[in-house]
Structure 1
């Protein structure tokens, strides 16, 4: 197991401050690897776990840096207006990656801004469907500049608020113009001044309705939040594929 840990450190570029930290991380790594291998051996499942870049983190550490979605319930705030895709016919399959509406996989690193990545991905998708141009947009602009309310960069946020910011801000700039840093910083107005894509509105999919979600996804990429606090989510592949069940989902 020591040799596996050394190879894993090289693969993921992990460097520890001292031998004491290395020993502590090895103990966590060993526990996690044993759990992964036991899970994969324990009968057929719809997915397998893998030894990824989080293998030397406790689940508490993983949750602290990855679960940045802030679920806020406002009593009486449920929308009563009709769902725009209510009468959509759902095709047997839909993969927006094959339609050119999804950018390559991105990594939020040790920053709890999943809300920004989710909102940006949906914005990238609808912009591509509207213009035919797939542009990688800046999550860092949301992390740094969308801080006036519940959205607080690496400390978490909410996609609805990110969409409100994009509308009010009249768009986002590109990833290349305002690169991702995986850390909170001061809003750079110069970098954020060149807007290349925007939205005019957004709509929440009706709660607790998988059929409504199917109809929404049939029309465009959607922004979702997943409770990834469970141990298994720490070790799933980068793209989560729930297959061999009806309906099946692929989420990046």
Structure 2
């Protein structure tokens, strides 16, 4: 049978351990409550609103980790600056790499042939990916429309061009045709809006103030164009 003093000593140690555990648990609870309060204040300050409780909880966990990292870095004494919480504490770090093929946002490999239209392929690929991410549909778009129709600025079909101008063209044009409706030919051709008309309506404008408008209008009716 163990001596009484040993039993008492063991009981005291157990009580100390339980007390420490209880203190730590209480401290964690207080820290969690304090962090949650900071999070709520941060949401108000930066106007953050989430769709549901699940998203809010997920963002809270990210917020906590970022705040802890900031406080940990600020305790290092050899820094000449201090970090603080800003409006981006609930976002994760940018991944070191991203394969958009795995996200279904990249069309199969295309061949530009003997045409310097790499600028069109680059711009179209970006727009295809953006469209897929927005709509969930991956649609092959028309490089040829850019080659044929985007020629009033820097872009000059098979002679080369820049992606920025291609994006501006599509913006001004209110869209771009699909590869199916305006297929690639690897050559400079005349801008062919009939490629689009044969598959869907297109927008046109007529200046009715123009002196020839009555004559043109009668001619169109006679030719059954409208």
TM-score (norm 2): 0.46
Choose 1 or 2 for highest CA Rg.
2
* Bigger relative contact order, structure 1 or 2 (CA pairs below 8 A, ≥6 apart): 1
TM-score (norm 1): 0.41
Comparing both structures, which one devotes a greater share of its residues to helix? 2
